[in-house]
Amino acid sequence: MKITDLKCAVIGQHPVVRIVTDEGISGYGQIESSKPYLKPQVLFYRDFILGEDPTNVERVMLRIRRLGAFKPWGSAVSAIEMALWDIAGKAAGLPVYKLLGGKIRDRVRVYNGGVRFPMRGSSPADFAENMARMKEAPEGFTIIKQGIGYHGQMLASDPSYRYGENITGARYPNRGPLTERGLKYVIACIEAMKEVLGDEVGLALDCGPGWTVSDAIRLARAVEPFNILWLEDLLTGDYTPYVQADLYREVTRSTTTPIHTGEEIYLRQNFTDLIEKRAVSVIGPDPADVGGIAELKWIAEYADLHGILMAPHGVLDGLIGLAALVQVSATLPQNFIAFEYPVARPEWWYDIIEGLPDPIVRNGFIEVWDRPGLGVEFNVSAAKAHLADEDSDFFD
């Protein structure tokens, strides 16, 4: 089997990768909906993989892996890797999890990062009300993640919450010290959410990036009585092209509250310091950024050797990304907690992708399916209605 073409179409806001072979089997991968601009980056790799056998996944990846980078530039490589596994599974007549070593769980736990409801405001009462709505969501999530601190506009709502001027523009531009009032406000919002959830549903918090080390330690110590599952991306994180493991280690060693990072990191080599220095308690690579699903599994295994837990990111990965997360999470070692559940936007994606269970999530879990490859396919006739004119030949 040989690769005869690499195509990319932007469907909705997702760049979608299609690898075409000379045996009539195609494989699909999906880039996050926040990156519709990456189509040219995907097509850059076309000449590197033409003529290769797609079922030799690692051999193909060796040709392109070194040409990626931290979020967002690793997404193209990651989507190509997913598409290769999709082909390999289809060619073998096996689900991808079988090719990754087999599953150790029949269903995978997901956490809520994507089922959202509008916030009326940013007071502790507003956070509590919003958390109550998520707790009652039909998916029955056992873990809910909420953004606080520098993740979003929380600290921008009142200039007395932090020192310095607010910067607007690129994603997560602000960083720096909080005032005492600001820190107390964040803690009050967390306490309000925990009062709603009790010990029935776990609470994880997406915090940054942008906190100082001292403020991060103060926050982590203050919330120790609440048994928070993790504080995510306090120092670095989303759209930050460096790790700073030594700073994370300082926070982690100062608290019993689990500290988490990893969604923006590309490749196993860039997790080395976090893992070997035990700089965090939990890592959360995203298969759509880290280099693909086999890369994620390698990192999970290495983290497990060092007593570090695994909670993969994935909120914007779409339905093909969801399928990839289910397949790889079924194979991860017992340091796996849950992966972040992606919700399709726009909702017509549910009409153009076939093979997902209905409902997808039951009581906070997804049953692992056994169809070949990633186990999902396009309803081509329905999907064509959403192609731009320039992508009209994507399925040809």
Q: What mean pLDDT is reported for the chain?
A: 97
Residues 82-133 have pLDDT tens digits of 999 999 999 999 999 999 999 999 999 999 999 999 999 999 999 999 999 9
Q: How confident is the model at residue 183 (pLDDT cuts 50, 70, 90)?
A: very high
Measured CA distances, 80 to 26, 125, 158, 246, 395 (Å) = 12, 44, 43, 33, 16
At residue 364, the pLDDT reads: 98
CA–CA gap between residue 331 and residue 103 (Å, rounded): 4
Q: What's the CATH number of domain 3-93+378-391, 3.20.20.150, 3.40.50.10490, 3.40.50.2000, 3.30.390.10?
A: 3.30.390.10
Segments of the chain assigned to CATH 3.20.20.120: 98-372
Single-letter amino acid, residue 66: R
Segments of the chain assigned to CATH 3.30.390.10: 3-93+378-391
Taking 80 as the threshold, does the pLDDT of residue 391 lie above it? yes
Q: How confident is the model at residue 153 (pLDDT cuts 50, 70, 90)?
A: confident
Mean pLDDT of 229-244: 97
Residues 45-89 have pLDDT tens digits of 999 999 999 999 999 999 999 999 999 999 999 999 999 999 999
At residue 173, the pLDDT reads: 87
Would you call 253 exposed, middle or buried from its count of C-beta atoms within 10 A (0-12, 13-18, 19+)?
A: exposed
Residues 278-309 have pLDDT tens digits of 999 999 999 999 999 999 999 999 999 999 99
SS3 189: helix
**CATH fold for domain 98-372:** TIM Barrel (3.20.20)
Mean pLDDT of 311-336: 98
Q: How confident is the model at residue 169 (pLDDT cuts 50, 70, 90)?
A: confident
At residue 152, the pLDDT reads: 83
At residue 167, the pLDDT reads: 84
Length of the chain: 396
At residue 170, the pLDDT reads: 78
At residue 313, the pLDDT reads: 98
Residues 240-253 have pLDDT tens digits of 999 999 999 999 99
At residue 84, the pLDDT reads: 99
Q: What is the pTM of this model?
A: 0.97
At residue 156, the pLDDT reads: 85
Q: For residue 378, what is the enclosing H or E element?
A: strand 377-378
Taking 80 as the threshold, does the pLDDT of residue 189 lie above it? yes
